[in-house]
């Protein structure tokens, strides 16, 4: 048995995710339940890829087939036809491992908070010891229903005994199995077929491989990990909530130490993919999701929710919702504004009370202060949008676009019926319904709007 893979050989991670997770009381497979905005399995796959440098193999079962759909672009898959235990799951996964793989890393899909460096350290420990098997253990004051690690008088590992099969003396052992393994590939291929169902439960235990390795003298080694709760599996919604609280606190601490201010970290919800520059300030009850990025010196006010959006420097977002949008520098938004997907807001723009924007581009310095809707519109620089202005962008079949020039003044309660264009420096009177293009420097007034040009021309059908 070699200490390290020879050239061309690789480590492969097998992730066990075949259990539905009945204690979650859900039709959704346990590993797809979200943890800070991502399925818990996503965190495990990240660690698997970073450790081995290749796509992991995920073992799923018919009840968890949704796992394959959710991660089709991120992993390869092996089907466990009937979930009859972790040993049978590993057998299914091993069938999908390339024959040249020298090492097999086994991870559990419901342990999302695993330290990223731990699996690599476990592989290194197995190579260094020249052992067939390396396991991760934890010494804990509350072993509960976890498998006990049984050692001999010299401290060598002899077996892992599941709690349901353990004797009273074995249940007193405080060292438990954390469920993370590294195997010599050739040895595992030879011995996986020797696993037998438990007499107590009828399940085929992966942990019995430890006993087989000690019996044939192939060697078992271990890393004893810190008992910090990160290796505990998530089995129900209470544990999921506890894990989310711990992860959220870690994320917030990282941002705080990097120069972000939080008025109340306990109420700041910042998902892992969010990027915050220095001197960003988060007020209470802020939610930042997805791939959101926030620029230096920006204030995200209380009650704001931002999803997959880019916010520039020196902005203020106050009690507003922003989805899949781009905000330039020095923009003020809110309170109670809503930017829907596809909105692009230019520098120095001001959006106020109950302003809604959808799939629109607002140029520099645009003012949209009160109770208005701009949908599928292009708005030129310094245009003023009067209260109650609406772009009527849907004709019952299609979404149509409105183009508004620079320095335009839209009067209160203007309705712009798309498709329509308003030229630079044009104006609309209060309550106007604009159904035709408005030339530059012209005034549109009335229902339907008539056009008045600087020469005094009036037209009801421009």
Tens digit of each residue's pLDDT (9 = 90 or more) over 67-120: 999 999 999 999 999 888 999 999 999 999 999 899 999 999 999 999 999 999
* Rounded mean pLDDT, 422-431: 97
- Considering the domain architecture, whether residues 125 and 30 belong to the same structural domain is answered as yes
- Considering the domain architecture, whether residues 16 and 97 belong to the same structural domain is answered as yes
* Rounded mean pLDDT, 356-372: 97
What average pLDDT does the structure give for the chain? 93
Q: Which of 115, 369, 370, 436 is catalytic?
A: 370
Assign 454 a pLDDT band (cuts: 50, 70, 90): confident
pLDDT tens digits, residue range 249-303? 999 999 999 999 999 999 999 999 999 999 999 999 999 999 999 999 999 999 9
pLDDT tens digits, residue range 14-51? 999 998 888 999 999 999 999 999 999 999 999 999 99
Give the closest residue to 298 by CA, choosing from 274, 320, 315: 315
- Considering the domain architecture, whether residues 221 and 258 belong to the same structural domain is answered as no
Confidence (pLDDT) at 388: 96
DSSP 3-state of 273: coil
Residue 5 domain-assigned (yes or no): no
- Considering the domain architecture, whether residues 61 and 206 belong to the same structural domain is answered as yes
Assign 147 a pLDDT band (cuts: 50, 70, 90): confident
- Considering the domain architecture, whether residues 276 and 391 belong to the same structural domain is answered as yes
- Considering the domain architecture, whether residues 245 and 206 belong to the same structural domain is answered as no
* Rounded mean pLDDT, 306-331: 98
Confidence (pLDDT) at 456: 67
Q: For the chain, what is the radius of gyration of the CA atoms?
A: 31
18 to 15, 74, 79, 103, 145: CA distances (angstroms): 9, 17, 8, 22, 20
pLDDT tens digits, residue range 157-197? 998 888 888 888 888 898 999 999 999 999 999 999 999 99
Tokens linked to 356: 């809604």
Backbone angles phi, psi at 239, to 5 degrees: -65, -35
Is residue 349's pLDDT more than 70? yes
DSSP 3-state of 364: coil
Q: Which string of b and e fits 214-224 if b means at least 16 CB within 10 Å?
A: beeebbbbbbe
Query: 354 and 335 in contact (C-beta within 8 Å)?
Result: no
Confidence (pLDDT) at 461: 53
Question: What's the CA gap between 241 and 40, in Å, rounded?
Answer: 12
Q: Among residues 197, 225, 253, which one ends one of the domains?
A: 225
Residue 257 domain-assigned (yes or no): yes
Tokens linked to 317: 């977002």
Residue 3 domain-assigned (yes or no): no
- Asked if omega into 255 is within 30° of 0 (cis), the reply is no
- Considering the domain architecture, whether residues 58 and 22 belong to the same structural domain is answered as yes
Longest dimension (CA), the chain: 105
Instruction: Give 197's DSSP letter.
Output: B
CA atoms within 13 A on the CB side of 341: 1
* Range of the structural domain that residue 387 is part of: 237-459
- Asked if omega into 248 is within 30° of 0 (cis), the reply is no
Confidence (pLDDT) at 376: 98
370 is catalytic: yes
Assign 228 a pLDDT band (cuts: 50, 70, 90): confident
Cα dihedral 388, 391, 397, 399 in deg (nearest 10): -140
- Which residues, in sequence order, are CB contacts of 24 under 8 Å at separation 6+? 30, 33, 235, 236, 237, 240
Confidence (pLDDT) at 6: 39
In order, the DSSP letters of 287-320 are: EEETT-EE-TT-EE-TT-EEES-EE-TT-EE-S-
Q: Taken in order 369, 374, 379, 384, is the CA torsion positive or negative? A: negative
Residue 384 domain-assigned (yes or no): yes
List residues bridging with 404 in a β-sheet.
379, 422
- Considering the domain architecture, whether residues 211 and 258 belong to the same structural domain is answered as no
CATH of the domain at 321: 2.160.10.10
Give the closest residue to 379 by CA, choosing from 344, 355, 413, 414: 344
List residues bridging with 11 in a β-sheet.
103
Q: Which stretch of DSSP H or E encloses residue 427?
A: strand 427-428
Query: 18 and 89 in contact (C-beta within 8 Å)?
Result: yes
Q: Among residues 159, 193, 225, which one ends one of the domains?
A: 225
Residue 2 domain-assigned (yes or no): no
Residue 369 domain-assigned (yes or no): yes
Least confident of 1-5, 100-104, 142-146, 194-198: 1-5
Confidence (pLDDT) at 153: 86
Confidence (pLDDT) at 7: 35
Domain count, the chain: 2
- Considering the domain architecture, whether residues 265 and 393 belong to the same structural domain is answered as yes
Least confident of 159-168, 217-226, 442-451: 159-168
CA atoms within 13 A on the CB side of 359: 9
Is residue 441's pLDDT more than 80? yes
Q: Among residues 225, 246, 281, which one ends one of the domains?
A: 225
- Considering the domain architecture, whether residues 52 and 175 belong to the same structural domain is answered as yes
Assign 1 a pLDDT band (cuts: 50, 70, 90): very low
Question: Higher confidence at residue 156 or residue 350?
Answer: 350
What whole-number percentage of the chain has pLDDT above 90? 82
Least confident of 149-153, 372-376, 381-385: 149-153
Residue 230 domain-assigned (yes or no): no
């Amino acid at each position: 048995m070699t200490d390290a893979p020879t050239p061309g050989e690789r480590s492969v991670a097998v992730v066990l995710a075949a259990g539905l997770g009945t204690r979650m009381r859900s039709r959704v497979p346990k590993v797809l339940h979200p943890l800070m905005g991502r399925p818990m399995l996503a965190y495990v796959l990240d660690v698997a890829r970073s450790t081995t440098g290749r796509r992991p193999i995920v073992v799923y079962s018919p009840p968890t087939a949704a796992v394959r759909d959710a991660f089709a672009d991120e992993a390869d898959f092996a089907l466990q036809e009937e979930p009859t235990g972790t040993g049978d799951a590993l057998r299914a996964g091993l069938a999908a491992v390339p024959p040249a793989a020298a090492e097999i890393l086994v991870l559990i899909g419901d342990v999302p908070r695993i330290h990223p460096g731990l699996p690599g350290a476990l592989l290194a420990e197995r190579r260094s010891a020249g052992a067939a098997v390396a396991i991760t253990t934890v010494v804990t004051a509350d072993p509960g229903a976890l498998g006990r690690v049984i050692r001999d008088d010299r401290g060598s590992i002899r077996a892992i005994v599941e709690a349901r099969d353990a004797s009273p003396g074995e249940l007193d052992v405080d060292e438990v199995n954390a469920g993370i393994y590294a195997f010599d590939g050739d040895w595992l291929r030879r011995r996986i077929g020797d696993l037998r169902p438990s007499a107590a439960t009828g399940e085929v235990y992966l942990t019995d491989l430890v006993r087989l390795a000690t019996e044939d003298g192939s060697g078992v080694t271990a890393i004893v990990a810190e008992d910090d709760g990160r290796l505990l599996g998530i089995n129900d919604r209470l544990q999921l909530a506890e894990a989310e609280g711990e992860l959220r606190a870690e994320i917030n601490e990282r941002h705080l130490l990097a120069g972000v201010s939080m008025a109340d970290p306990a109420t700041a919800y910042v998902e892992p993919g969010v990027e915050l520059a220095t001197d960003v300030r988060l007020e209470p009850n802020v939610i930042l999701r997805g791939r959101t990025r926030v620029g230096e010196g920006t204030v995200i006010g209380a009650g704001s929710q931002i999803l997959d959006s880019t916010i520039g420097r020196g902005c203020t977002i106050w009690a507003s919702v922003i989805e899949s949008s781009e905000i330039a520098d020095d923009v003020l938004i809110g309170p109670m504004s809503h930017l829907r997907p596809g909105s692009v807001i230019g520098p120095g723009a001001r959006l106020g009370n109950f302003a809604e924007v959808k799939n629109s581009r607002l140029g520099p310095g645009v003012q949209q202060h009160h109770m208005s809707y701009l949908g599928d519109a292009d708005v030129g620089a310094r245009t003023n949008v009067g209260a109650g202005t609406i772009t009527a962008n849907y004709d019952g079949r299609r979404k149509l676009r409105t183009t508004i020039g620079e320095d335009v003044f839209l009067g209160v309660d203007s309705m712009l019926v798309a498709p329509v264009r308003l030229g630079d420096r044009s104006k609309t009177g209060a309550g106007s319904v604009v159904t035709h293009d408005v030339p530059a420097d012209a005034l549109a007034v009335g229902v339907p709007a008539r056009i008045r040009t600087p020469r005094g021309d009036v037209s009801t059908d421009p």
